[in-house]
């Protein structure tokens, strides 16, 4: 086994990093892969809550790094999927408790254990961001169709390019076709045109995402949700499959264009 | 290591420390720097430092690993100054500052208008993204877009083989003959020497264009036409 290490990051907070990590991890594990998520948002842990695992935490990432427990002891097994694990963040420490080289060592140790390591990153471009970027083989940038979120995504992409990492891929989250039609929001096409990196997913706005997060049951587990379907598609694309993009506005026009741009990248 | 043998100097700045590193092999200077930092116990902890590396040619990996090691010592690196254009470019792309104080406006006016002092050009084969600030004492040529939130400041001309949506300042030390050209222009802000563009309308200048200072002292946008 040699895991692929994938970090999800955004620059801006609240765009859906943690939601994406939880959902993509559940989707990969449902497809039969062995997956470990790492909550890299030290001091503000919440991946455990979204995955419904907060009651099971004994050890956290800082305990592993500082040698108070072994790696396996900090890997919490998911209650639904036996091949899904979470290494939680420490809630009472700050991001300086972990360094980029600690993260590289931790990820390397996990490589032999699982097929995928998904790392959730904090907002910002400082130490916490660099900690989660350092071990990544691949990086997924997540953004919302808003000028400020896109500006931050652009900044983060620039920093990743400057470090000569693999070219990141893009998830556009919370697309709302009604608002785009009313010209109240950037379209997926506008976002892609500016950021100019390959697209890996478009996730619609869906209030069930919030409801399911509060219940600790990621939306991909809900087979009727389109947002859930969009996250399942991202997992499949990560696995190397070609999956067509969802037609989110029932008219085809915009989505045909997106298919075209996505193909071009 | 004995202090006299390490070419490392520390100076206090208003908002942090300036560390100057003398000449020598980076492979020995870098460990010497950390040995020095370690020997000073907690003096550097939490410090913001600017590093003057002289003529050292540092590549991306060198600077990334230096910054990360410093951060493991709880030191944040915010600026790297160098006489090497390579090192300076690398630092700028990593989002580090390369000057420790901004030139004051009155200084800008003192420069002669008969051209910039450096006729060389810096080539950047990439899209300049938000937060990148590229300064160069000659011309700057970009093959790629200049995105919103990126800044280019050249003493000479700026040529962009791509779309400009960020900020560009050509002739930054007062050269009124400097020009800017781009394949498409929708910048947040455009400036040649001391002349600033008025607000540019969306949808204008979507074809190749050259911008110069005209006789009336305003910026003139001339569409580029093949002969
Ligand atoms: N596609 C979506 N539709 C509706 N709400 C969403 C969607 N994606 C995320 N959210 C909500 O947005 C908020 C922020 O998401 P979160 O994943 O915590 O962001 P981050 O980790 O980037 O700070 C949460 O309340 C989450 O439930
Ligand atoms: Mg989060």
- Residues of the domain holding B70: 3-93
* Average pLDDT of span B145-171: 95
Q: Give the least confident one: A140-149, A155-164, A252-261.
A: A252-261
Residue B67: the pLDDT is 92
What's the pLDDT at A260?
Answer: 61
> How far A158 CA sits from the closest chain B CA (Å)?
5
Would you state the pLDDT for residue B186?
Answer: 85
Q: What is the pLDDT of residue A258?
A: 61
The whole-number average pLDDT for the span A226-243 is 96
Per-residue model confidence (pLDDT) at position B225? 80
How does the average pLDDT of chain B come out, rounded?
85
Q: Verify that B86 and B134 share a domain, yes or no.
A: no
Of the candidates A130, A162, A194, the beta carbon closest to that of B68 is on A130
State pLDDT tens for residues B120-133.
888 999 999 999 99
Same-domain pairing of B125 and B55: no
Q: Which of A209, A211, A214 has the most ligand 1 atoms within 8 A of CB, as the residue to mutate?
A: A209
Q: Is B16 on the interface with A (CB under 8 A)?
A: no
d(CA A6, CA A21): 9
* pLDDT band for position A32 (cuts 50, 70, 90): very high
pLDDT band at residue B108, thresholds of 50, 70 and 90?
Answer: very low
> Domain boundaries in chain A?
4-264
Q: Has residue B99 been placed in a domain?
A: no
ipTM of the complex: 0.80
Let me know if residue B100 belongs to a domain.
no
Residue to mutate among A162, A164, A194, with most B CBs inside 10 A, is A162
pLDDT tops 50 at residue B113? no
Predicted confidence (pLDDT) at residue A250 exceeds the cutoff of 80: no
**Range with the poorest average pLDDT among A257-261, B6-10, B100-104:** B100-104
Residue A263 confidence (pLDDT) above 60: no
Q: Residue A259 — pLDDT band, cuts 50, 70, 90?
A: low
Q: Of B62, B93, B124, which one is at a domain's C-terminal end?
A: B93
Q: Which of 3.30.70.980, 1.10.150.120, 3.30.465.10, 3.40.50.300 is the CATH number of A4-264?
A: 3.40.50.300
Mean residue pLDDT of chain A comes to 91
User: What integer pLDDT is reported at residue B200 of this predicted model?
Assistant: 72
Asked whether the beta carbons of residue A194 and residue B71 sit closer than 8 angstroms, the reply is no
Q: Which ligand is nearest to the CA of A40?
A: 2
Residues B8 and B112 in one domain: no
A205 lines ligand 1 (CB under 6 A): yes
B182-208 pLDDT, tens per residue?
999 987 789 999 999 877 776 777 889
Query: Is B180 in the same domain as B77?
Result: no
User: Residue whose CA is closest, atom 25 of ligand 1?
Assistant: A210
- Among residues of chain A, what percentage have pLDDT more than 70? 93
Assess if residue B98 is contained within a domain: no
**A152 touches B at CB < 8 Å:** yes
Instruction: With 0.80 as the threshold, say if the pTM is over it.
Output: yes
In short, whether A115's Cβ falls inside 6 Å of ligand 1 is no
Examine the fold and report which residue of B93, B116, B138 is the final residue of a domain before the chain moves on.
B93
**Are B58 and B85 members of one domain?**
yes
Testing the interface with B: which of A104, A127, A154, A161 to mutate, by most B Cβ within 10 A? A154
**Strands A138-143 and A4-9, bridge-based pairing:** parallel
Split into its structural domains, chain B has a count of 2
Residue scoring higher pLDDT (A4 or B121): A4
- Of the pLDDT bands very low, low, confident and very high (cuts 50, 70, 90), residue A185 is confident
pLDDT for the residue A17: 98
The pLDDT assigned to B104 comes to 38
Q: What pLDDT score does B197 carry? A: 87
In A, residues 185-204, which contact B (CB 8 Å cutoff)?
Answer: 194, 196
CA-to-CA distance for A67 and B221, rounded, in angstroms?
A: 64
Interface test with A, best of B130, B151, B167 (most A CBs within 10 A): B130
Q: Among residues B66, B93, B120, which one ends one of the domains? A: B93
Is residue B86 situated within a structural domain? yes
Higher pLDDT, A210 or B206: A210
pLDDT tens string B28-74: 999 999 998 888 878 888 889 999 999 899 999 999 999 989 988 88
Do B130 and B213 share a domain, yes or no?
yes
Residue A129, SS3 per DSSP = helix
Give the pLDDT confidence score for residue A94 in this predicted structure.
Answer: 80
Q: Tell me: do B122 and B209 sit in the same domain.
A: yes
The CATH code of the domain that includes B50 is: 3.30.750.50
pLDDT at A246: 83
Say how far apart CA B88 and CA B103 lie, in whole Å: 17
| Predicted local confidence at residue B105, as pLDDT | 38
Residues B17 and B79 occupy one common structural domain = yes
Give pLDDT, residue A256. 59
Selection from A88-102, A148-162, B110-124 with the highest mean pLDDT: A148-162
Q: Which pLDDT does position A164 carry in this prediction?
A: 85
Task: Identify each DSSP E strand in chain B by its residue range.
Answer: 8-13, 16-21, 48-52, 76-81, 121-124, 133-136, 139-143, 151-154, 158-164, 167-170, 180-185, 189-192, 195-196, 209-213, 219-223
Average pLDDT over residues A206-233: 95
Choose among B29, B12, B15: nearest CA to B69. Answer: B29
Check A158 against B72: CB less than 8 A apart.
no
**Best-predicted range by mean pLDDT (B22-26, B83-87, B218-222):** B218-222
All residues at 6 or more sequence positions from A239 whose CB lies less than 8 Å from its CB, including other chains: A28, A31, A33
Which tops the pLDDT comparison, A157 or B45?
Answer: A157
Task: Compute the CA torsion angle A218, A222, A228, A234 (nearest 10 deg).
Answer: 80
Considering CB atoms only, which of B68, B71, B130 is closest to A151?
A: B130
DSSP annotation of B128: B
């Amino acid at each position: 086994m040699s895991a692929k290490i994938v970090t999800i990051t955004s620059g801006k907070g609240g765009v859906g990093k943690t939601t994406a990590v939880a959902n993509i991890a559940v989707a990969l594990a449902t497809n039969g892969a062995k997956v470990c998520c790492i909550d890299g948002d030290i001091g503000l842990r919440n991946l455990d809550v979204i995955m419904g695992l907060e009651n099971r935490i004994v050890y956290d990432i800082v305990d592993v790094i500082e040698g108070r427990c072994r790696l396996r002891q900090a890997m919490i097994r998911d209650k639904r999927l036996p091949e899904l694990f979470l290494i939680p963040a420490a809630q009472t420490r700050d991001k300086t408790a972990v360094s980029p080289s600690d993260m590289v060592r931790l990820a390397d140790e996990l490589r032999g254990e699982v097929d995928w390591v998904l790392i959730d990153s904090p907002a910002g471009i400082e130490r916490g961001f660099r900690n989660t970027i350092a071990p990544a083989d691949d990086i997924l940038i997540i953004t919302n169709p808003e000028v400020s979120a896109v500006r931050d995504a652009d900044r983060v992409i620039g920093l990743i390019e400057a470090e000569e990492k693999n070219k990141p891929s893009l998830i556009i989250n919370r697309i709302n076709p009604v608002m785009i039609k009313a010209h109240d929001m950037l379209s997926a096409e506008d976002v892609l045109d500016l950021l100019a990196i390959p697209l890996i997913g478009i996730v619609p706005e869906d209030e069930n995402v919030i409801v399911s997060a509060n219940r600790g049951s990621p939306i991909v587990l809900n087979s009727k949700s389109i947002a859930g379907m969009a996250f399942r598609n991202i997992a499949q694309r990560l696995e190397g499959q070609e999956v067509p993009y969802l037609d989110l506005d029932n008219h085809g026009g915009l989505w045909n264009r997106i298919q075209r741009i996505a193909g071009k990248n | 290591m004995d202090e006299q043998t390490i070419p490392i100097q520390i100076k206090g700045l208003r908002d942090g420390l300036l560390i100057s590193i003398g000449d020598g092999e980076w492979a020995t200077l870098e460990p010497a720097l950390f040995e020095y930092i370690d020997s000073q116990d907690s003096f550097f902890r939490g410090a913001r430092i600017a590093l003057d590396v002289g003529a050292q040619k540092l590549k991306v990996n060198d600077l990334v690993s230096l910054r990360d090691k410093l951060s493991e010592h709880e030191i944040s690196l915010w600026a790297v100054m160098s006489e090497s254009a390579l090192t300076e470019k690398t630092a700028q792309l990593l989002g580090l500052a390369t000057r420790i104080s901004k030139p004051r406006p009155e200084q800008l006016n003192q420069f002669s208008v008969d051209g910039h002092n450096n006729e060389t050009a810096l080539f950047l084969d990439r899209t300049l993204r938000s937060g990148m600030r590229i300064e160069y004492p000659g011309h700057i040529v970009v093959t790629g877009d200049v995105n919103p939130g990126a800044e280019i400041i050249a003493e000479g001309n700026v040529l962009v083989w791509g779309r400009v949506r960020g900020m560009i300042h050509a002739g930054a030390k007062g050269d009124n003959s400097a020009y800017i050209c781009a394949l498409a222009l929708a910048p947040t802000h455009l400036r040649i020497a001391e002349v600033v563009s008025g607000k540019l309308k969306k949808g204008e200048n979507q074809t190749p264009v050259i911008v110069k200072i005209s006789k009336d002292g305003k910026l003139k946008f001339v569409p580029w036409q093949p002969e």
